């Protein structure tokens, strides 16, 4: 009962936090998709230095804690007069880009070689065949793992609280410390995360369904 | 009557690593010829076809198309491929596009003809291969025979001068082979120049102007179907025919 009261009393603030969490995630994943595509192409370019560059990027992202990446971007970018919001977004995009690059590399390479050959045999250039034939199919296959990555990113965005972004997690811990009752507010914030993930999962399933009419 | 030469191959060699797959291949195909390539698995038939439209790059030798020598370094390799249609054993239709979209994709984006015109021609081709009712269907919904007929229509949409077929019926259930062979026969009758790798000896006998037997990367015997099938000059051809007939 007390929990419910706390939930009802705080919902306007939590909703604002939820909006910020969603914005941080959506914008950073959107950017990460382009970063991911770029590095996926470097990885399959068959040009060694470019492959190494992509490997190095993925190695750095995988080998360091996300919270470190967020702080580095935060201190690095805010010193260049970039806002707190955008420094976090770019930090998260940098991080997710590496995982998304691996997703795209995998799905691009999973497309049957015959698809490229069919395109080439019709007079398509390599670029055209990628754009019209390979990528649309690879994107479709990437939807489930991308959705998964989005959910991970959603939860990872809680680390933005470390640099003072007033997103969901920060709202919860602020209430927790003000009321000397972390448990109540952490259980409340868990509900908000679950709602976000649920909405998003339904959305992804809907998109997958629409995309798979051809199968 | 002598027809102009469509494809000419001289001393073509191709290796994969240390595996010498094509050895001094010479072949001349004239306009409207239907040539059937036969031979055991691994003899290099697919590799030869793939060299002709540069899906594989030859090591040495010359390939001449309609009188022009073509090199892999030609700036316009894609132009060459526009003239040489290819039909694959496993169809390789674009699964994310409908039947008609499969057909008009290259005309629109490679040849840059208008969409309306491409659709009109695409529908004509679909009618020709007997699939007018399937234009809005996705390939996954088609039978193997229907897929292959769409693949043929897709290649024809570029108005190629030569069509290459690599075992077009090998992946099909036996009862679907006939419809694809019928489509190919019709093309042959219309005068299309065709090079066909096939295990369908009946088709080769009936439709081919001449038959090429390959063994171990070499052309061992070339001749009219009656000659090759009924009295092959070479013992190896005879052995091969005994094994498949
Ligand atoms: N990309 C490749 N890399 C390495 N070896 C290859 C490659 N393609 C073909 N080969 C080899 O070259 C030889 C000839 O292959 P090819 O596919 O041309 O034979 P084929 O006559 O078409 O046989 P099949 O009737 O089985 O299709 C085979 O030994 C094959 O394993
Ligand atoms: Mg073959």
| Higher pLDDT pick, A7 / B78 | A7
Q: Tell me the three state secondary structure of residue B42.
A: coil
For residues B24 and B217, what is the distance between their CA atoms, to the nearest angstrom?
8
ipTM value, please give it.
0.91
Task: Please answer yes or no on whether A118 and B93 come within 8 Å at the CB atom.
Answer: yes
Percent of chain B with pLDDT over 70: 98
Cα atoms in the Cβ-side hemisphere of radius 13 Å centred on B120: 5
Nearest chain B CA: its distance from A141 CA (Å): 11
Q: Which residues of B touch A124 (CB under 8 A)?
A: 78, 106, 109-110
Task: Please answer yes or no on whether A124 and B90 come within 8 Å at the CB atom.
Answer: no
Nearest chain B CA: its distance from A110 CA (Å): 14
| Higher pLDDT pick, B74 / B200 | B200
Mean pLDDT on A66-76: 94
pLDDT of residue B131: 94
pLDDT of residue B67: 84
Mean pLDDT on B207-229: 92
Tokens of B137: 């269907």
Q: Tell me the three state secondary structure of residue B90.
A: coil
* Residues in contact with A196: Cβ distance below 8 Å, sequence separation at least 6, in sequence order: A18, A21, A22, A154
pLDDT tops 70 at residue A215: no
For B98, phi and psi rounded to 5 degrees?
A: -70, 170
For residues A48 and A35, what is the distance between their CA atoms, to the nearest angstrom?
19
The β-bridge partners of B7 are: B29, B65
Task: Please answer yes or no on whether B155 and A122 come within 8 Å at the CB atom.
Answer: yes
**How confident is the model over B178-194, as pLDDT tens digits?**
999 999 999 999 999 99
Task: Please answer yes or no on whether B95 and A122 come within 8 Å at the CB atom.
Answer: no
Backbone dihedral region for residue B19 (phi beyond 0: left; psi -120 to 50: alpha; all else: beta): beta
Tell me the CA–centroid distance for residue B50 and ligand 2, in Å. 10
Mean pLDDT on A34-43: 96
How high does pLDDT run on average in chain A? 92
Q: Is the CB of B43 under 6 A from ligand 1?
A: yes
* Nearest residue (CA) to ligand 1, atom 16: B44
CB contact A121 to B (< 8 Å): yes
Q: Which ligand is nearest to the CA of B45?
A: 1
The DSSP output letter for B3 is P
CB atoms < 10 A from the CB of A19, how many? 12
Tokens of B5: 């030469």
- Which of B53, B79, B140 minimises the CB distance to A215? B140
CB contact A205 to B (< 8 Å): no
**How confident is the model over B101-157, as pLDDT tens digits?**
999 999 999 999 999 999 999 999 999 999 999 999 999 999 999 999 999 999 999
Task: Give the DSSP H or E segment for B62.
Answer: strand B60-65
* Nearest residue (CA) to ligand 1, atom 6: B16
- Lowest average pLDDT, out of B33-37, B66-70, B216-220, goes to B66-70
Domain tally, chain A = 1
Cα atoms in the Cβ-side hemisphere of radius 13 Å centred on A185: 20
Q: How many CB pairs under 8 A join A and B?
A: 69
Owning domain of residue A174 = 2-214
For residues B170 and B64, what is the distance between their CA atoms, to the nearest angstrom?
29
Comparing alpha-carbon positions, the chain B residue that sits nearest to A138 is B96
Q: Is the CB of B46 under 6 A from ligand 1?
A: yes
Q: Are B10 and B36 in contact (CB under 8 A)?
A: no
Nearest chain B CA: its distance from A17 CA (Å): 40
- Which of B53, B94, B106 minimises the CB distance to A115? B94
Percent of chain A with pLDDT over 90: 81
For residues A8 and A30, what is the distance between their CA atoms, to the nearest angstrom?
33
Q: Tell me the three state secondary structure of residue B1.
A: coil
Q: Which residues of B touch A119 (CB under 8 A)?
A: 106
Percent of chain B with pLDDT over 90: 75
Tell me the CA–centroid distance for residue B117 and ligand 2, in Å. 35
Rg (chain A; Cα; Å): 20
* Residues in contact with A83: Cβ distance below 8 Å, sequence separation at least 6, in sequence order: none
CATH number of the domain that A77 lies in? 1.10.3720.10
pLDDT of residue B1: 56
Task: Give the DSSP H or E segment for A10.
Answer: helix A2-43
């Amino acid at each position: 009962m007390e929990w419910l009261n706390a939930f009802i009393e705080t919902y306007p603030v939590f909703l604002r936090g939820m909006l910020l969490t969603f914005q941080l995630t959506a914008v950073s994943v959107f950017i990460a998709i382009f970063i991911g595509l770029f590095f996926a192409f470097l990885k399959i370019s068959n040009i060694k230095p470019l492959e190494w560059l992509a490997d190095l990027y993925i190695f750095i992202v995988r080998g360091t804690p996300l919270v470190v990446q967020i702080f580095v971007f935060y201190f690095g970018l805010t010193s260049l007069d970039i806002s707190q919001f955008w420094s976090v977004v770019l930090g998260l995009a940098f991080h997710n880009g590496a995982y998304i690059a691996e997703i795209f590399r995998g799905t691009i390479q999973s497309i049957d070689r015959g698809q490229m050959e069919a395109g080439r045999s019709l007079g398509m250039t390599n670029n055209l065949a990628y754009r019209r034939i390979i990528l649309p199919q690879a994107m479709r296959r990437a939807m489930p793992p991308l959705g998964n990555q989005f959910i991970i990113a959603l939860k990872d965005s809680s680390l933005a609280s470390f640099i003072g972004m007033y997103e969901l997690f920060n709202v919860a811990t602020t209430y927790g410390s003000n009321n000397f009752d972390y448990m109540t507010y952490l259980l409340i914030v868990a509900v908000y995360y679950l709602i976000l993930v649920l909405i998003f999962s339904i959305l992804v399933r809907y998109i997958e369904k629409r995309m798979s009419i051809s199968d | 009557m002598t027809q102009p030469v469509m494809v000419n191959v001289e001393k073509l060699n191709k290796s994969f690593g240390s595996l010498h797959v094509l050895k001094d291949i010479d072949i001349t195909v004239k306009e409207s010829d239907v040539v059937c390539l036969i031979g055991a698995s691994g003899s290099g038939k697919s590799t030869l076809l793939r060299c002709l439209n540069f899906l594989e790059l030859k090591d040495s030798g010359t390939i001449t198309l309609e009188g022009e020598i073509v090199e892999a370094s030609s700036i316009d390799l894609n132009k060459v491929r526009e003239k040489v249609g290819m039909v694959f054993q496993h169809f390789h239709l674009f699964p994310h596009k409908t039947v008609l979209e499969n057909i008009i994709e290259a005309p629109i984006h490679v040849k840059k003809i208008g969409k309306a015109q491409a659709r009109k021609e695409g529908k004509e081709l679909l009618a020709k291969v007997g699939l007018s009712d399937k234009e809005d269907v996705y390939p996954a919904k088609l039978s193997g025979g229907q897929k292959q007929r769409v693949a043929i229509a897709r290649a024809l949409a570029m108005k190629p001068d030569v069509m290459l077929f690599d075992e077009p019926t090998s992946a099909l259930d036996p009862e679907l082979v006939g419809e694809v062979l019928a489509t190919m026969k019709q093309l042959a009758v219309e005068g299309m120049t065709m090079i066909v790798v096939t295990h369908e000896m009946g088709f080769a006998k009936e439709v081919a102007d001449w038959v090429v037997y390959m063994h171990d990367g070499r052309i061992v015997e070339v001749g009219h179907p009656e000659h090759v099938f009924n009295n092959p000059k070479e013992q190896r051809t005879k052995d091969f025919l005994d094994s498949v007939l």
